[in-house]
Structure 1
Amino acid sequence: MKTFITRTVTALFFVAIMLGGILWNELSFFLLFFLINFFALQEYFLLVRQIDPEYKEVSPWHKFGVLIAGCAVMMAVTDKHFGGSGVSLGEIGWVMAFIFILLLPLGEILMSRNFSLKTIGYSLLGLLYVTAPLSLMVDLRLFPYPVSVVPGWHTEIRGELHGFLIPLLLIIFIWINDTMAYIVGSLIGRTPFFPSISPKKTIEGTVGGMILAIAAAGVFGYFWGDQWLHWPHWMALACIAAIFGTAGDLLESRLKRLAGVKDSGRIMPGHGGFLDRFDSLLVAAPFAWIYVRLFIA
């Protein structure tokens, strides 16, 4: 009972923070995902240290330099949105990202006791796995979406499309897919789905969650959401969230299994760490960004 209460309180607090950051304004959205990136990167590095002890030997320059580089990339993607008439946050970010990413290998060569290209590869992979997708989420929020009343596959935005809509829909569809997969799997799940990575997942639950998430998106988009975004896009985004979100969940489960840990962190009581909460988003976000750029923007 105590565990249930802890999970419930944590979940409510988590949802309130997420909704506040996403819906308040552009700056709150950026700050929210900036913090998610900061903590998720640290959890990724911790997992890598458990997987390969050699990564524990990196120099302080490497350890903190790659974290600063990740934060700088998040700043860089904001371009000129924050900064007024002076130097923008994005320009500062580009300079910092260039300096740290360029000098990181050099500093590692000079300061590390045991220089290894492998450790640099782990760090760059962390930026690709964690920072790049979260940066694309910020870009989806700040992107100046077109406004059109002409129906069609490329131009079916009705009225004004708020920047938070697509990032919010992606997160909601991932949540629906996860929830429905859990419910369907609990009721009729029999066939294991990747038992070596995630023993509790079943094929029935996974497929059921995907179908229900896409169906829910299509029904809501057709009857109520078409005024903001043409309903086929609702289904397409739900499809991306379901398929690639599931892949992201399996990927993080594989990393945790290699590291020999149950959760990536303990910052959210009863729910694990940031990677545990956003693993699906890390893989789904790049594909959603590509879809938006090709078919909506």
Structure 2
Amino acid sequence: MKTFFTRTASALVFVAVMLGGILYTEFTFFLLFFLIGCFALQEYFKLIRNIDPDYANISSWHKWGATLAGGAILLTFTGNNFQFAQLPTGLIGWWAAVIFLLVMPIGEILLSKDFYLKNIGYSAIGILYAIIPFGLLIYLRLHAIEIQYTPGGFGTAPGWLIPLLLIIFIWINDTMAYIVGSLIGKTPFAPNISPKKTIEGTVGGMILAVAAAAVYGHFWGSGYLSLRHWIALACIAAVFGTLGDLIESKLKRMAGVKDSGNIMPGHGGFLDRFDSLLLAAPFAWIYVQFFMIS
């Protein structure tokens, strides 16, 4: 019972922080996902240290250089939306990212006791995995896009709309997959990665997430997006969100840990909470660029 109340309380705090950060202002959105990205990158580093002990020997220069490079890359996605010392933060982030990405390998070679080229590769993959997806979400939030919101008209969608829909659709997919799997799930979906996942639960979650998006989009959501966009975004969230969850589960299994962190009591770490979004966000960004912008 104590665990239930702990999980419930932390979940309510999580929802409040997420909604506040996403909806309040552009800056709170940026700050929210900037912090999430940096903390998720640290959890990725921890997983890699458990997977490959050689990575535990990287220098502090490498560790914090990679983190600062990740933060600078997130800053580049702000473009001209924010200013610091009369300079666009996007420009500051771009130059900082270039400097850190050039200097970090040199420092690793000179300062590490044992230099392994693969360690630089691990860090680069971490930036691609845990930083770029959040940067794309920041881009969607800060850069207004003119989209076809009805079959016969165009309009500017709220910047928070696509990121919020992705998170909601992922939550619906995960919740419905758990419920359906608990009720009728029998066939393992990926037993070597996530033994509790079943084909019935996975497919059921996807179908119900898309159905919920279609129903809402048809009756109430046409003022924001056309029905096909509601369905497409739900499909992206369900399919690629599920794959993102499996990727993080594979990393944790290789690392021999249950959770990537313990930032949320009863819910694990940042990667545990946003693993689905890490893969869904890039594909949603691609969809927006190629199929939604007028």
TM range (shorter): over 0.9
More strand as a share of residues: 2
2:220 corresponds, among 218, 221, 224, to 224
Establish whether residue 280 from structure 1 lines up as the match of residue 250 from structure 2: no
- Residue matched to 1:189: 185
One-letter identity of the residue aligned with 1:75: L
One-letter identity of the residue aligned with 1:7: R
State the alpha-carbon separation in 2 of the partners of residues 282 and 144 from structure 1.
22
State the alpha-carbon separation in 2 of the partners of residues 28 and 246 from structure 1.
28
Establish whether residue 268 from structure 1 lines up as the match of residue 270 from structure 2: no
One-letter identity of the residue aligned with 2:163: P
1:151 CA drift (Å): 2.5
- Residue matched to 2:54: 54
Q: What are the residue-to-residue correspondences of 1:20-99 with 2, within 5 Å?
A: 20-83=20-83, 86-99=86-99
Deviations 1:228-261 (A, max 9, x none): 1111100000000000000000000000000000
Q: Label 1:208 to 1:150 Cα distance change in 2 as closer, same or farther (>3 A).
A: closer
Q: Which stretches in structure 2 are left out of the alignment for 5+ residues?
A: none
**Secondary structure of the equivalent of 2:81?**
coil
State the alpha-carbon separation in 2 of the partners of residues 294 and 15 from structure 1.
31
TM-score in terms of structure 1 length:
0.96
Regions of 4+ moved over 2 Å:
147-152
1:84 CA drift (Å): 7.2
- Residue matched to 2:211: 215
RMSD: 1.3
**Secondary structure of the equivalent of 1:268?**
coil
- Residue matched to 1:127: 127
State the alpha-carbon separation in 1 of the partners of residues 159 and 85 from structure 2.
23
Deviations 1:124-179 (A, max 9, x none): 00000010101001011112211667735xxx54x541110111001100000000
Q: Label 1:288 to 1:51 Cα distance change in 2 as closer, same or farther (>3 A).
A: same
**Secondary structure of the equivalent of 1:225?**
coil
Deviations 1:72-101 (A, max 9, x none): 000011011001781011111111100001
One-letter identity of the residue aligned with 2:44: Y
One-letter identity of the residue aligned with 2:275: D
One-letter identity of the residue aligned with 1:283: L
State the alpha-carbon separation in 2 of the partners of residues 36 and 112 from structure 1.
28
State the alpha-carbon separation in 2 of the partners of residues 237 and 294 from structure 1.
13
One-letter identity of the residue aligned with 2:65: G
- Residue matched to 1:144: 144
Deviations 1:44-103 (A, max 9, x none): 000000000000110111010000000000001101100178101111111110000111
State the alpha-carbon separation in 2 of the partners of residues 222 and 150 from structure 1.
11
State the alpha-carbon separation in 1 of the partners of residues 265 and 81 from structure 2.
35
- Residue matched to 2:163: 167
Deviations 1:242-285 (A, max 9, x none): 00000000000000000000000011000000000000000000
State the alpha-carbon separation in 2 of the partners of residues 113 and 64 from structure 1.
17
Establish whether residue 258 from structure 1 lines up as the match of residue 254 from structure 2: yes
1:181 CA drift (Å): 0.2
One-letter identity of the residue aligned with 2:234: A
Q: Which stretches in structure 1 are left out of the alignment for 5+ residues?
A: none
**Secondary structure of the equivalent of 1:200?**
strand
Given that 2:149 and 2:226 are in contact with CA atoms closer than 8 Å, whether structure 1 keeps it comes out as: no
TM-score in terms of structure 2 length:
0.97
